[in-house]
Amino acid sequence: MYVVREITQMPMTSIGKEFGGRDHSTVVYAIQQVEKNIKKNAKTKATAEDIIKNIRDR
């Protein structure tokens, strides 16, 4: 969900629909958890950045 939001800037409700009809609050929570983990863990940050870079470079 974090990667989808970073790349597309889709609304939270649309992201939720793409992930099996999840509520927008679930999307917000998931993104916040990833952001929190990125701040705590450099490896997580590097992994997320690498995924985003690979998608954008296609």
What would the pLDDT profile of 2-56 be if each residue is shown by its tens digit?
999 999 999 999 999 999 999 999 999 999 999 999 999 999 999 999 999 999 9
Q: What is the pTM of this model?
A: 0.90
Contact status, residue 1 vs residue 19, Cβ threshold 8 Å: yes
Alpha-carbon distances of 13 from 8, 30, 41, 57, rounded to whole Å = 13, 13, 28, 26
> Which pLDDT value is given to residue 5?
97
Quote the CA–CA distance of 44 and 31 in Å, as a whole number: 13
